């Protein structure tokens, strides 16, 4: 019973833990806006703002350090396949029909079939976000 209570307390503490305010990405290839590409550098982000970028930048002691070995950091580039912050589509409701609101509506599907390319695209399952790509995550920095 003691172990269960301790585990529950630890999980509660973990749930309320704050995200780090300072993040440092080290050993990454950094593409800058107006300067040369940095082959192995560090980017320090504090409170959502870029604080330092360069080859000889040392991460602050309070920073959460991410090893960027083999990764590339671009300015302002956010995971374009992420669905974070994007609300889901609102289901369409029938507004016209002969059923008087009793579930019978006029079909809204076209009577002529779509072109093969459009029909094929409609059958492809769309990406749901980072959960479709193992070992990746969305970062909003």
Q: Which of 42, 119, 45 is nearest to 76 (CA)?
A: 45
Sign of CA dihedral 95, 97, 103, 107: negative
- Res. 79 pLDDT band, cuts 50 70 90: low
- Res. 27 pLDDT band, cuts 50 70 90: very high
CB < 8 Å & 24+ apart, contacts of 48-51: 48/141, 50/75, 51/22
Q: Please report the pLDDT score of residue 126 as a whole number.
A: 58
3 within a domain of the structure (yes/no): no
pTM of this prediction? 0.46
| Nearest-5° Cα angle at 11, 8 to 13 | 110
For 93-139, write each residue's pLDDT tens digit: 655 555 555 555 555 555 555 566 666 666 666 555 555 555 555 55
HSE-CB for 134 with a 13 A CA cutoff: 0
Q: Please report the pLDDT score of residue 76 as a whole number.
A: 72
Q: Please report the pLDDT score of residue 83 as a whole number.
A: 65
Range of the domain at 48: 20-76
Comparison of pLDDT for 12 and 42, the residue scoring more: 42
57 within a domain of the structure (yes/no): yes
Residue 130: how many other CB atoms lie within 10 Å: 17
Q: What one-character-per-residue DSSP string does 97-118 give?
A: -SSTTSS-----S-SSPPPHHH
69 within a domain of the structure (yes/no): yes
Q: Which of 95, 92, 79, 91 is nearest to 128 (CA)?
A: 79
Q: Please report the pLDDT score of residue 118 as a whole number.
A: 62
Looking up residue 60, the CATH number of its domain turns out to be 2.30.40.10
30 within a domain of the structure (yes/no): yes
How many domains, the chain? 1
For 31-77, write each residue's pLDDT tens digit: 988 889 999 999 998 888 889 999 999 999 999 899 999 999 887 76
- Res. 25 pLDDT band, cuts 50 70 90: very high
Q: How far apart are the C-alpha atoms of 114 and 124, rounded to whole Å?
A: 15
Q: Which residue has the tokens 């609102």?
A: 90
Q: Which of 78, 32, 84 is nearest to 55 (CA)?
A: 32
């Amino acid at each position: 019973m003691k172990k269960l209570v301790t585990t529950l307390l630890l999980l509660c503490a973990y749930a309320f833990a704050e995200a780090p305010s300072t993040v440092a990405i080290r050993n990454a290839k950094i593409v800058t806006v107006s300067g040369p590409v940095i082959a192995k550098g560090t980017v320090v982000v504090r409170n959502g703002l870029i604080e330092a970028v360069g080859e000889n930048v040392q991460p602050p002691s309070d920073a959460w350090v991410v090893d960027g070995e083999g990764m590339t950091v671009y300015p302002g580039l956010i995971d374009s396949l992420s669905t974070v912050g994007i609300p889901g589509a609102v289901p369409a409701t029938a507004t016209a029909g002969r059923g008087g609101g009793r579930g019978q509506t006029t079909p809204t599907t076209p009577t002529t079939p779509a072109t093969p390319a459009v029909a094929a695209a409609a059958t492809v399952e769309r990406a749901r976000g980072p959960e479709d790509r193992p070992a990746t995550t969305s970062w909003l920095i």
